[in-house]
Chain A
């Protein structure tokens, strides 16, 4: 974990990053606006750590992952990778960057070309980057298959011949082919059954240690993130609303949205009785956000200050623990109670 005093420069520094999408509201009115999928996001990722990025569908977490890996251009803001700006770079520099930042996606059957063999899928990044000879690439691919726990004989099989867990292993091998420093893991285990999910989580943790990898782990699953992440960032409607060390976040969540998320999580223990905080209402329209705090329509602690602008700023609760809320002093998380049987 990072030591704030004399820490090395973060591997990834994201400041005030924005990504807007244009939307047409209606054919008749002709009005158009912006959907602010990522709206002023700032965070660092230190080399070797896992930053968990959690949030519900539509909060912008996948868009953020895509902008950081330069699969989508940013609208505004700054991304530094190893201290270098990676937004304003030419094609050649971008190609070189691809070797350092790679992604693994949720659905391995959708992200692997069904007409390519496992061998060609894993070799493709090496071919594109013109790395090695045919023979050296062959050795590398076969080694990668073993690294992710597949047998070398599987190289000539097609994606449909693999199970879901094995396909995700191929997706990971492909992401590792260029010896990246940072992996963007976008819901890497969400499509898998729980027994297979555990295998892939173990593989990812093992690879991180062996290959000195840094992970941005995007997930909707708070239990998985609790297991894998060193620090946790919670996103809501395009913004990070809370960022903290794993222990601090799960033991002492501060933002009312984080508290509600954690209280809604069904725990695999029938003896725990909890007071669930039910969020009222649905998400606001992201193309037409309310004035003031974005969470006001669903927040149990809403005050007049939240309804009139400006939006709450990030506040520091303790070193490394920040949250975006006006009323932090008045909000306390409910405590889990073990039933006395």
Chain B
């Protein structure tokens, strides 16, 4: 089972090795009711410059996966296993907090959903950007301030020198997210985590921010791990997609493969639940039931209770994430496994 869960090395034959390679990452949270596995053996790999989407519903473990990679899991959470290879670093999970602080904000940076809670309300936004540069690029205050104004200009904020002196509450939601992006891109990172970067924004502002992210990513050549629940955002932005459910990756494919021919019943269900032009006048094909409690996962496949295609094998064992023949697609389902248990 272990061998099946590791990513195939077909990509490594290319000259460009993956930028980030996550193997068997597991993160647990201790609760009064027991220990739950929020991330349960996740393996992913990202090529330089790629936009990799992680899509899933609340509680699927998509944000915890990103926080675990960045070393930002706090008690009562704990990363219990796996390796995170990043560039020449053999395993980010072995780094001390001080070493991780050097990497975060420099080579790896992040944008979160709610810019109001990630910006410090009592500091001028210019200084918040300048601080990143003073720490990671050892610039002087004056140099860093000048650079911060340049960065604000680059993310499309009008009169940046004036705006730099303002506080977060003086900016609109879209502008705050632009400030977060300016901060994240300040040190030209090679990897950007974007966790629901546009979920709190209106659709017209979302379009502006997505465009900005694409533009900056292309200028700087950064890879992006885009975490979202929105299949529309995934379709527009990502090249590869992993679908997560209850702490595991259910399916991984290129964005075209995933939307054209989803293999996992959960992915099919997710895509069918989206209201579209065609669905008007008919019922939506909803997935019955609710996401399982991570403390009481069903035996066998964790999607089995809600799955229309569930059969006897599904109760017997948890299917492995398996690579499809002649393809780089992966799917965790006994329907697509050559030897399901009997």
- Answer yes or no: are A and B bound together in one complex: yes
Chain A interface (Cβ within 8 Å of chain B)?
56-57, 163, 165-166, 193-199, 201-202, 205-206, 220, 222-224, 226-228, 246, 250, 260-261, 263-271, 276, 278-279, 282-283, 341
The answer to the question of B270 belonging to the interface, with a C-beta cut-off of 8 Å to chain A, is: yes
> Are A195 and B203 neighbours in the complex by a CB distance under 8 Å?
no
**Which chain B residues border A246 with CB–CB below 8 Å?**
280
A165 & B290 in contact (Cβ 8 Å cutoff): yes
Query: Do B277 and A268 touch across chains, with their CB atoms under 8 A apart?
Result: no
Q: Which partner residue on chain B sits nearest A193 by CB separation?
A: B57
Does the CB pair A194–B231 fall under 8 Å?
Answer: yes
* Interface pick from B62-70, B74-82, B188-196, B207-215: B207-215
B236 proximal to A (CB < 8 A): yes
Q: With a CB–CB cut-off of 8 A, which chain B residues contact A228?
A: 275
Q: Are B211 and A195 in contact (CB under 8 A)?
A: no
> For chain B, which range describes its interface: under 10, 10 to 19, 20 to 34, or 35 or more residues?
35 or more
Contact A227 B270, CB 8 Å, known A57-B202, A266-B232: no
Q: Given A193-B58, A198-B273, A268-B274, are A205 and B232 also a contact pair (CB < 8 Å)?
A: no
Whether A270 contacts B273 in the complex (CB less than 8 A), given A220-B203, A276-B211, A278-B211, comes out as no
Whole-angstrom CA separation of A56 from B173 in the bound complex: 12
Contact indicator B230/A270 (Cβ below 8 Å): no
**A194-B270, A264-B204 known; A227 vs B259 contact (CB < 8 Å):** no
With contacts A198-B284, A269-B235, A282-B174 taken as known, whether A226 is within 8 angstroms of B207 at the C-beta atoms is no
Contact B286 A199 (CB under 8 A): yes
The answer to the question of B224 belonging to the interface, with a C-beta cut-off of 8 Å to chain A, is no
Once the chains are docked, how many angstroms separate the CA of A195 from the CA of B266? 10
Q: A196-B290, A198-B287, A227-B284 are in contact. Are A278 and B275 (CB under 8 A)?
A: no
Bound form: Cα–Cα A273–B283 in Å: 28
Q: Which of B229, B235, B284 contacts A266 (CB 8 A)?
A: B235
* Known pairs A198-B286, A227-B275; A56 contacts B202 (CB<8 A): yes
Q: Are A261 and B231 in contact (CB under 8 A)?
A: no
Docked pose: A163 CA to B279 CA in angstroms: 26
List residues of chain B with CB under 8 Å of any chain A CB. Answer: 57-58, 172, 174-175, 202-208, 210-211, 229-236, 255-256, 259-260, 269-277, 279-280, 283-288, 290-291
Asked whether A220 lies within 8 Å of B57 as measured between CB atoms, the reply is: no
Chain B interface secondary structure, helix, strand, loop or mixed? helix
**Cα–Cα, bound, A206→B284 (Å):** 11
A197 to B233, CA, bound (A): 17
Q: Least Cβ distance of B319 to chain A in Å?
A: 20
- Closest-CB distance, B152 to chain A (whole angstroms): 15
Residue of A nearest to B55 (CB): A194
Determine whether the beta carbon of A282 is less than 8 Å from that of B172.
Answer: yes
Q: Would you call A266 and B230 a contact (CB within 8 A)?
A: yes
Query: Which residues of B lie under 8 Å from residue A196 when comparing CB positions?
Result: 57, 286, 290
Q: Is A264 in contact with B275, judged by CB distance below 8 angstroms?
A: no
B58: A residues at CB distance < 8 A: 193
Q: In angstroms, how far is the closest chain A Cβ from the Cβ of B138?
A: 35
Contact A194 B279 (CB under 8 A): no
Instruction: Kindly name the residue among A195, A220, A224, A279 whose own CB sees the greatest number of chain B CB atoms within 10 A.
Output: A195
Contact pick for B236, options A163, A201, A220, A266, CB 8 Å: A266
**A228-B275, A264-B206, A269-B259 are known contacts; what are 11 more A-B pairs with Cβ within 8 Å?**
A56-B205, A198-B273, A201-B284, A202-B283, A223-B276, A246-B280, A268-B235, A268-B274, A270-B235, A270-B259, A278-B204
B232 touches A265 (CB 8 A): yes
Query: Which B residues touch A166, using CB under 8 A?
Result: 290
Q: Contact: B210 with A266, CB < 8 Å?
A: yes
Q: Which residue of B lies closest to A223 (CB)?
A: B275
Are A268's CB and B286's CB within 8 A?
no
Q: Which of A202, A264, A278, A279 contacts B284 (CB 8 A)?
A: A202
Closest 10 CB pairs of A and B: A266-B232, A227-B275, A198-B286, A198-B273, A264-B207, A56-B202, A193-B57, A195-B287, A198-B284, A268-B231
Residue of B with least CB distance to A271: B256
Q: Are B208 and A279 closer than 8 Å at their CB atoms? A: yes
A56-B203, A223-B274, A268-B259 known; A194-B57 Cβ under 8 A? yes
B51 to chain A, nearest CB (A): 12
Q: Which residue of B lies closest to A282 (CB)?
A: B172
Contacts of A263 in B (CB 8 A): 207
Q: Which residues of B contact A201 (CB under 8 A)?
A: 275, 284, 286
Would A268 and B276 be within 8 Å (CB), given that A194-B229, A276-B207, A282-B172 are in contact? yes
Chain B residues positioned under 8 Å from A283 (CB to CB): 172
Give the Cβ gap from B15 to chain A, nearest Cβ, in Å. 27
Contacts of A260 in B (CB 8 A): 204
Measured in the bound complex, the distance between the Cα atoms of B271 and A51 in whole Å is: 26
* B280 near A282: Cβ-Cβ < 8 Å: no
Q: Which residues of A contact B204 (CB under 8 A)?
A: 56, 260-261, 264, 278-279
Q: Smallest Cβ distance from B125 to chain A, in angstroms?
A: 16
Inter-chain CA distance A228–B291, complex, in Å, is: 25
